[in-house]
Structure 1
Amino acid sequence: MSILVECMSHTPLQGHFDPAPEIVADVRDVTAAARERVRAFNPELVVVFAPDHFNGFFYDLMPPFCVGAAASGVGDYGTPVGDLLVPADIARRMVESVLAADIDVSISYRMQVDHGAAQALEHLIGGLDTYPVVPVFINAAAPPLGTLRRSRLLGEAIGHFLRQTGKRVLVIGSGGISHEPPVPELVSAPKEVAEALIAGRNLTPEARAMRQERVFNAAKAFTAGEAPNMRALNPEWDQAFLARLQNDLLSVDAMNNDEIARDGGKSAHEIRTWVAAFGALSAFGKYDAHVDYYCAIPQWIAGYAFMHAQTAA
């Protein structure tokens, strides 16, 4: 029974609108180091905490948390398409265990995951079906949102379940830190955009290409300083958050959603995937955590970081 946590930022812009070559090389190297840690650990089970960007979850039914008992990748931004290798019996028992711990969570036998989960799986384990993997969706894009404390407690409950499996478990937290890409909001969206947020599944290739082109154009404007409505990256806030995970996980309970959006940007709510991953680790006891990389990368509209952790020796 052992656990390895790997947390990383994801960005749909990687490979489409890149920063300077030396930054790309640094990210490539730190990704390779993380992948080697995973290879050496040789997990028997992977749990990935990830958000969704209105590709698999919509306002027609938006749970705060959902465990996938079967899942497939939608293939946005060139990420892998196809089925994840989900052990349905473990996913079901995980849900039962979490519910027994008084944390409400839903289950899906037809979950669709986008780049939020697929990019991390591709970078860290080589694809969607390299190892048995249970995807755990955490809503970070569709208000109203739960608290960070609830995400920590979700992770903790899943961690207690994972301890009982006796398996070597890789836990992945996939999410940006400070960032605010152009994601529409239901309360202010025109009718056709609102309908896409409510029930916009299974985009046509043409519609997906148009959507992705808008994101590419927004990144170019943001990098050029021509996007006044997009909040600037906040390296100081990012570093303080990473320090919380290293030194005082319980302190995240005091972070409220309004302050997160104000200081980190509206999409900084994705930090709850990192919080859940460290919550799972905390169920195994004291841990050692290391920040492997951090850089504020405007081309990727992301405070971009890698971090890993294991139980203390």
Structure 2
Amino acid sequence: MSLALVCMSHSPLLDFAEPPPEVTEAVDAAFTQARDFVAAFDPTLVVSFAPDHYNGFFYDLMPPFCIGYEARGVGDYGTTEGPLDVPTAVAERLAQHVIDRDVDVAISRRMDIDHGAIQPLEILFGGIDTVPTIPVFVNGVARPFTRMRRIRQLGLAIGDFLAGLDERVLVIGSGGLSHDPPVPQWATASDQQRAMLLDGRHPTAAARDARQQRVIDTAREFAAGRAEIRDLNPEWDLALLDVLASGDLTAIDAMTPDQMASDAGNSAHEVRTWVAAYSALSAAGAYDVTSRFYRPIPELIAGFGVTTALPRTPALARG
């Protein structure tokens, strides 16, 4: 077994916004560095921790986390639509292992995933079916939220399973960091919005376009300083990146949903994917962050980060 990690922000606006050229160049350079890292590691299996944005998971049934036995991209924001190459038998064994470690995880034999899970696969591999991938949904948008300690436990249980595989496993965490895009909240949503939050599967092309355009318009207003959403919080983002790099993730247990939303926006809960991924890596022992990029990018409505990491033990890093 060998493990490696890439955690990265995603944004539906990557192909729709126009940050200053130097910002775009910096993001592209961070993506290139991550791609080179992945190519050198040459994974035989990917475990992807990602949220959803009411494209695959809805309030008719909203688990805190879910392992996909089969999965398909829904094609939002121009991302790839179609099936992932999910090794179903391995995913089934993974779910049983996690449950046996007292983490009650849901499963799906027909998981729909959106840009949050698809973008990293496209960026790192050039497609969504080039490497066998097990998707793990981590709720980062819909209250109520499980405690952060449970996210760590999920990651540790998955990492413990991966330690027993004869594979080179890349663990991906996709989400965050501080950001507050115009995602409806159930408590304040209109009747029409609640209908979408309850079950908005398979929208018409017009409905999807209208929803996406609202996000694009908000990003433009936010970059101009006019949108009524929470500001990005670089201080919060950098402090979290420091904790993740430290290897001692227990400090994250003290984070609460209300404080996270207040400090870093309603979608800052997506950092749960990073916590799960780093926790999975920590199951192999101490680790080192090998690269770190961060920049607050209003045009993407995101505190944008990309990190890579490897276990400190050389044998685990080499495979």
Residue 246 (structure 1) aligned with residue 279 (structure 2): no
Q: Which residue of the partner structure matches residue 122 of structure 1? A: 122
Residue 48 (structure 1) aligned with residue 48 (structure 2): yes
Deviation of 1:112 after TM superposition, in Å, equals: 0.4
Residue 96 (structure 1) aligned with residue 96 (structure 2): yes
Query: Runs of 4 or more off by more than 2 Å in structure 1?
Result: none
Q: How does 1:186-205 map to 2 (within 5 A)?
A: 186-205=186-205
TM value normalised by structure 2? 0.96
Alignment size in residue pairs: 312
Quote the Cα distance in structure 2 between the aligned partners of 1:294 and 1:190. Answer: 35
Deviation of 1:277 after TM superposition, in Å, equals: 0.2
Deviations 1:177-221 (A, max 9, x none): 100000101122111110110011011111111111000000011
Q: Which residue of the partner structure matches residue 284 of structure 2? A: 284
Q: Which residue of the partner structure matches residue 303 of structure 2? A: 303
In percent, how many aligned pairs have the same letter? 53
Quote the Cα distance in structure 1 between the aligned partners of 2:258 and 2:115. Answer: 26
1:211/1:296 CA distance change after superposition, 3 Å: same
Moved more, 50-59 or 145-154: 145-154
Q: Are the aligned partners of 2:9 and 2:176 in contact in 1 as well (CA < 8 Å)?
A: yes
Quote the Cα distance in structure 1 between the aligned partners of 2:90 and 2:137. Answer: 16
Deviation of 1:30 after TM superposition, in Å, equals: 1.2
Q: Which residue of the partner structure matches residue 69 of structure 2? A: 69
TM value normalised by structure 1? 0.98
Q: Which residue of the partner structure matches residue 78 of structure 1? A: 78
Q: Which residue of the partner structure matches residue 316 of structure 2? A: none
Q: Are the aligned partners of 2:186 and 2:197 in contact in 1 as well (CA < 8 Å)?
A: yes
Q: How does 1:111-190 map to 2 (within 5 A)?
A: 111-190=111-190
Q: Structure 2 unaligned runs (5+)?
A: 314-319
Deviation of 1:144 after TM superposition, in Å, equals: 0.5
Q: Secondary structure at the match of 1:164?
A: coil
Quote the Cα distance in structure 1 between the aligned partners of 2:37 and 2:53. Answer: 28
Deviation of 1:292 after TM superposition, in Å, equals: 2.0
One-letter code of the match for 2:147? Answer: T
Q: Secondary structure at the match of 1:213?
A: helix
Q: Which residue of the partner structure matches residue 219 of structure 1? A: 219
Q: Secondary structure at the match of 1:306?
A: strand
Residue 36 (structure 1) aligned with residue 36 (structure 2): yes
Quote the Cα distance in structure 2 between the aligned partners of 1:188 and 1:27. Answer: 34
Q: Which residue of the partner structure matches residue 265 of structure 1? A: 265
Q: Structure 1 unaligned runs (5+)?
A: none
Q: Are the aligned partners of 2:47 and 2:133 in contact in 1 as well (CA < 8 Å)?
A: yes
Quote the Cα distance in structure 1 between the aligned partners of 2:286 and 2:270. Answer: 24
Deviation of 1:267 after TM superposition, in Å, equals: 0.3
Q: Which residue of the partner structure matches residue 317 of structure 2? A: none
Deviation of 1:227 after TM superposition, in Å, equals: 1.3
Q: Are the aligned partners of 1:18 and 1:299 in contact in 2 as well (CA < 8 Å)?
A: yes
Deviations 1:2-41 (A, max 9, x none): 1000000000011201210111111111101111111111
Quote the Cα distance in structure 2 between the aligned partners of 1:18 and 1:160. Answer: 42
Q: Are the aligned partners of 2:6 and 2:34 in contact in 1 as well (CA < 8 Å)?
A: yes
Quote the Cα distance in structure 1 between the aligned partners of 2:234 and 2:209. Answer: 31
Deviations 1:49-90 (A, max 9, x none): 000000000000000000000000011111111100000001
One-letter code of the match for 1:75? Answer: G
Q: Secondary structure at the match of 1:165?
A: coil
Deviation of 1:125 after TM superposition, in Å, equals: 1.8
Deviations 1:127-171 (A, max 9, x none): 110100000000110100111111111011000000111211000
One-letter code of the match for 1:249? Answer: L
One-letter code of the match for 1:233? Answer: L
Quote the Cα distance in structure 1 between the aligned partners of 2:91 and 2:298. Answer: 37
One-letter code of the match for 1:225? Answer: G
Q: Secondary structure at the match of 2:180?
A: coil
Deviations 1:229-251 (A, max 9, x none): x0000001100000000112121
Q: Secondary structure at the match of 2:164?
A: helix
Deviation of 1:291 after TM superposition, in Å, equals: 4.5
